Chain A
Amino acid sequence: MSLTALVALVRKDLKLFFHDRRAVIMSFAAPIVIASFFGFLFQGASGQANQARIPVAVVDQDQTDLSRKLIARLGEDKQVQVEALSLDRALDQVRRGKTTVALRIPAGFSEGATRTFFSGGAKPELSLDYDPSHAMELGLVRGLLTEAAMTVVSAEMFTGPAGRKSLETSLDQLERSNLAEGERSDLKRLLESARAWNVRQEQQPATARRGGLSLPYSLKEEALTSRSATPYNSYAHAFAGMGVQFILFMGIEAGISILVARRSGLWKRLCAAPLSRRLLLGGRALSAALVSLIILGVVYVFARLIFHVHIEGSAAGFLGVCLAFSLMTATFGLLIASLGRTPEATRGLAIFATLILVMLGGAWVPAFIFPAWLQKLTLFIPTRWAVDGLDAMTWRGLGFQAALAPIAVLLGFALAFGLIALARFRWEVEG
């Protein structure tokens, strides 16, 4: 009889789940849509698609050959989109949030930069006015500007007329300086060599001129996963995170359904049957776990078909993590039912708690960007293990060994939640 009753309990819950269109949409479509969006957003970080360029407004008050070269050089980088504007318009664009950074090249920049390249003195000032909500991008623009300025100014020093004039001025100043004779002669030879190089370069066609400083290295970047030739897929993490989030929401509803049944009188009828308490709660937990597995299955099938999210690691490990997480979700629902009083109040509180769990679990943004102390703290949060476990079995391509810890931790949480739920569940029906 127990098995018949258990099957009936589970079948009833599955029927109710699939009958409720909103629940189905929330459980299947919502994680897919949001994960697709997050995956698309973070795709740029993996270098697989066009990342949005940082808009930079440039105000050229110098209007020299050097300032134009600087602007052109900056615009060559694919990470920024340079637009020449007037000062007022550039600042207005930044204030409105249309442009991230306004770069102002003051009059006299060319002369000042070449003059102070080898010697000291007051340096020309480049101004960066930026949108404070994009402070992170400012760092990138600053770095790109430094590289561009060093390249074009040093090139001018070694190949251009402004540089030659600056070298002559420097030599003149050197003659009148108080430097020791040895140092002065060494420096004079350096400047004269540079001037001779400059003169020779100027006699060359513009395209053949060589000179200037450049970065002393080239950079090779490669996203590293466990399997060679397996690129990072930003959708894999997004689907793990959103799958975890919306399955926990389903778990909440599973718990709330018990509170609703208790209020409607249905619970009385269930308790009036000759069934054990463990069977009644176990039936609800089993159906919730099955729904969780179904959701994970649908979500990952979609991710595989549309976004090529593959299980690069252990398939058994992936199934193990899914199963452990589903059991954890089911007992999480029971925990909510055991601690909650009314469905309305419980739902709000449970959703809030779940969002915190999901946020700290790295479902929205990867946990590695958290501060170190927070990363340690989140090890006590089951969602962190679920997301990390799914990541490990998908895009990280790790083996079954890497799934053992997430499976063990998730099963531990499932056991703890289940025991607390059994201990705290209010079995007595309201008189």
Chain B
Amino acid sequence: MLEIRALEKHFGTLKAVDGISFSARPGEILGLLGPNGAGKTTLVSMIAGLLPADGGQVLIDGRTLCGDQDPLKRRIGLVPQDLALIEELPAQDNLAFFGALYGLKGLALRAAASRVLDLVGLSDRAGDRVATFSGGMKRRLNLAAALMHDPEILLLDEPTVGVDPQSRNAIFDNLETLKRQRRTLIYTTHYMEEVERLCERVVILDHGRVLADASLADLTRTGIVNPRLHIELNAGGDGHWLEELRGLDGVASANLAGTQLAVGIADLAADTSRILSWLSGRGMVIHGFASERPSLESVFLSLTGRSFRE
């Protein structure tokens, strides 16, 4: 169990991490979501023991992580945002090197390399230099290197930056495998769809603070991260039917502005046709409609009242 308690980090007058607390359980993928500069990377660096905290604690199964040589660091694997590989060396030499940093040697080292290469699907390229790999393959190897010492907690700092969709899916599959192995995964990103795909729970950060810490289901129920339907009606009327619409199953919110109706729904696929039918049944003529998946932009706007990149 990873527990973060009131963690703080200052760079001069800037509070990069400002009293952040959360926890993550084994077998959980926790999404750390936030815009650039929100403090995600600083937070991950502090959890990994790369940056000392100015306040608060990082606890692993109740024990505080402290010092460069703390054996607790063996229980953490770090996948840095920048590729942390030696391009001139073959993949297997990279893995051997990173495994040896954790004391692995001989048969155990070879077995670990074989295991992680299998996991990320690079066994057939083990002897090739990393420089010859595609961007996606490098990202997968970057993940494999963090798994050499079989950590219980994996810190992933935007591990899919610059990756093609195919490789991204491959990485997601790897992470789901790791989740099934009861590892704790902390996944930082600023892509909402990645959080939706992978994470049960999300911590939304901004200016070094936690804006929201909830499961996706809870966020959906509060209407923060619902997909939306934008429907253009022939006439909005007085909107007396809005309350009835809001009471329908799967409808989280409904707002009318002139002839433009915005409906927050739980599931685009399941709820769209039902709502359109309901509106037609009330005699309303639909001129057109568009669906909108929730983005960090919209979530962030909902939580802070300001735009993502202001």
Contact = CB atoms under 8 A, between A and B. Distances in A.
B249 interface: no
Interface in A27-66: none
Contacts of B11: 431
Max count, chain B CB within 10 A of own CB: residue among A15, A269, A271, A428: A269
B103 A429 contact: no
Contacts of A275: 68-69, 101
A264 B100 contact: no
Given A8-B97, A431-B45, A1 B88 contact: no
Nearest to B78: A272
Contacts of A12: 86, 89, 93, 97
Interface string A262-296: 01111011111111110000000000000000000
B89 A273 contact: no
Given A5-B103, A268-B50, A268-B84, A431 B41 contact: yes
B179 interface: no
B50 A274 contact: no
Contacts of A277: 68
A272 B103 contact: no
Contacts of A265: 80-84
Contact of A274 (B45, B70, B77, B85): B70
B45 A5 contact: no
Nearest to B17: A431
B82 to A, nearest CB: 3
A203 interface: no
Given A1-B102, A5-B101, A8-B101, A264 B83 contact: yes
B115 interface: no
A9 B103 CA distance: 12
Contacts of B100: 4-5, 7-8
B82 A4 contact: no
B89 A274 contact: no
A15 B89 contact: yes
Interface string B88-108: 110001001110111111000
B140 interface: no
Max count, chain B CB within 10 A of own CB: residue among A268, A274, A428: A274
B145 A273 contact: no
A276 B69 contact: yes
Interface in A8-23: 8-9, 11-12, 15-16, 19-20
Contacts of B78: 268-269, 272
A293 B70 CA distance: 34
Given A12-B86, A274-B70, A431-B51, A268 B80 contact: yes
B189 to A, nearest CB: 17
Contact of B50 (A9, A11, A263, A272): A272
A271 B45 CA distance: 10
Interface residues on B, range: 35 or more
Contacts of B101: 5, 8-9, 270, 273, 275
A194 to B, nearest CB: 86
A268 B96 CA distance: 17
Interface residues of A, number: 29
Contacts of A428: 50-52
Given A5-B101, A273-B102, A431 B86 contact: no
B74 interface: yes
B73 interface: yes
A343 to B, nearest CB: 14
A13 to B, nearest CB: 10
B183 interface: no
Given A16-B86, A429-B45, A272 B73 contact: yes
B46 to A, nearest CB: 9
B98 A269 contact: yes
A274 B68 contact: yes
Nearest to A8: B100
Max count, chain B CB within 10 A of own CB: residue among A12, A15, A275: A12
Nearest to B101: A273
Contact of A268 (B16, B45, B76, B97): B45
Nearest to B142: A265
B296 interface: no
B224 interface: no
B136 interface: no
Contacts of A431: 9, 11, 16, 39, 41-42, 45, 51
B34 to A, nearest CB: 13
A35 B26 CA distance: 63
Interface in B11-56: 11, 16, 39, 41-42, 45, 48-52
B69 A266 contact: no
Nearest to B87: A264
A284 to B, nearest CB: 13
B84 A4 contact: no
B156 to A, nearest CB: 13
Contacts of B84: 264-266, 268-269
Interface string B245-270: 00000000000000000000000000
Nearest to A15: B89
B71 interface: yes
B92 to A, nearest CB: 12
Nearest to A271: B50
Interface string B134-176: 0000000000011000000000000000000000000000000
A377 to B, nearest CB: 41
A15 B100 CA distance: 15
A266 B11 CA distance: 22
Contacts of B86: 12, 16, 266
Interface string A408-431: 000000000000000000001101
Given A266-B84, A431-B41, A271 B145 contact: no
B80 A271 contact: no
Interface string A241-271: 0000000000000000000000111101111
Given A19-B89, A265-B80, A271 B102 contact: no
27 contacts: A4-B104, A4-B105, A7-B100, A15-B93, A16-B88, A263-B82, A264-B84, A266-B85, A266-B86, A268-B80, A268-B82, A269-B146, A270-B101, A271-B50, A272-B49, A272-B50, A273-B98, A273-B101, A274-B68, A274-B70, A274-B73, A275-B69, A276-B69, A429-B45, A429-B51, A431-B9, A431-B41
- Please name the 9 residue pairs, one residue from A and one from B, whose CB atoms are nearest each other, closest first: A265-B82, A1-B103, A8-B100, A431-B42, A265-B80, A273-B101, A269-B84, A274-B73, A265-B84
Interface of A: 1, 4-5, 7-9, 11-12, 15-16, 19-20, 263-266, 268-277, 428-429, 431
Given A8-B100, A276-B68, 5 more contacts: A8-B101, A265-B84, A266-B84, A268-B48, A428-B50
